[in-house]
Amino acid sequence: MLTVNLGPLPVPITLLLMMVALLVAAGVGRLVGRGQQTGIGNILTDMLIAAVLVARIAFVAIWFDTYRGTPWSMLDIRDGGFTPWAGVAAALLVAIWRGWRRAALRKPLTLGLAAGAIAWGAMFGAILMMDNTALPKVALTTLAGEPADLAALAAGKPMVVNLWASWCPPCRREMPVLAAAQKQETEVRFVFANQGEDGTTAQHYLTAARLDLANVLLDHGAGVGREVGSMALPTTLFYDANGRLIDTHLGELSAASLASKLNQLRSRKNLSNKE
pLDDT of residue 270: 58
Cα–Cα distance, 215 to 193 (Å, whole number): 8
pLDDT of residue 269: 62
Per-residue pLDDT at 267 exceeds 90:
no
Q: How far is CA 104 from CA 28, 32, 47, 109, in A?
A: 15, 11, 18, 9
Per-residue pLDDT at 231 exceeds 80:
yes
Closest CA to 181 of 224, 213, 225: 213
143-190 per-position pLDDT tens digit: 999 999 999 998 889 999 999 999 999 999 999 999 999 999 989 999
Lowest-pLDDT range of 6-10, 87-91, 148-152, 223-227: 6-10
pLDDT of residue 266: 83
Lowest-pLDDT range of 22-36, 130-144, 201-215, 225-239: 130-144
**Strand boundaries in the chain, DSSP class E:** 3-6, 9-12, 140-142, 147-148, 159-164, 189-195, 216-219, 235-239, 245-250
pLDDT of residue 273: 53
Q: pTM for this structure?
A: 0.88
The residue ranking higher by pLDDT, 128 or 79, is: 79
242-265 per-position pLDDT tens digit: 999 999 999 999 999 999 999 988
Q: What is the mean pLDDT of the chain?
A: 91
Q: How far is CA 23 from CA 19, 124, 208, in A?
A: 6, 16, 47
**Side-chain-facing half-sphere of 222: CA atoms under 13 Å:** 14
Closest CA to 108 of 54, 38, 174: 38
Per-residue pLDDT at 271 exceeds 60:
no
Instruction: Indicate the pLDDT class of residue 9, thresholds 50, 70 and 90.
Output: confident
DSSP letter at 63?
T
Instruction: Indicate the pLDDT class of residue 272, thresholds 50, 70 and 90.
Output: low
Instruction: Indicate the pLDDT class of residue 126, thresholds 50, 70 and 90.
Output: confident
Helix/strand number for the chain, H first, E second = 10, 9
CB-CB contact of 240 with 246 (8 Å) = yes
Tell me the percentage of the chain whose pLDDT exceeds 70: 96
Cα–Cα distance, 177 to 170 (Å, whole number): 12
pLDDT of residue 175: 96
82-115 per-position pLDDT tens digit: 999 999 999 999 999 999 999 999 999 999 999 9
Domain coordinates of the chain in residue numbers? 11-130, 140-274
Closest CA to 232 of 25, 63, 6, 43: 6
Per-residue pLDDT at 131 exceeds 80:
no
**Complete edge-to-edge strand list for the sheet that includes strand 235-239:** 147-148, 140-142, 216-219, 189-195, 159-164, 235-239, 245-250
Per-residue pLDDT at 13 exceeds 90:
no
Cα–Cα distance, 30 to 43 (Å, whole number): 12
- Per-residue pLDDT, averaged over 114-134, amounts to 87
- Match domain 140-274 to its CATH number in 3.40.920.10, 3.40.50.300, 2.60.40.10, 3.40.30.10: 3.40.30.10
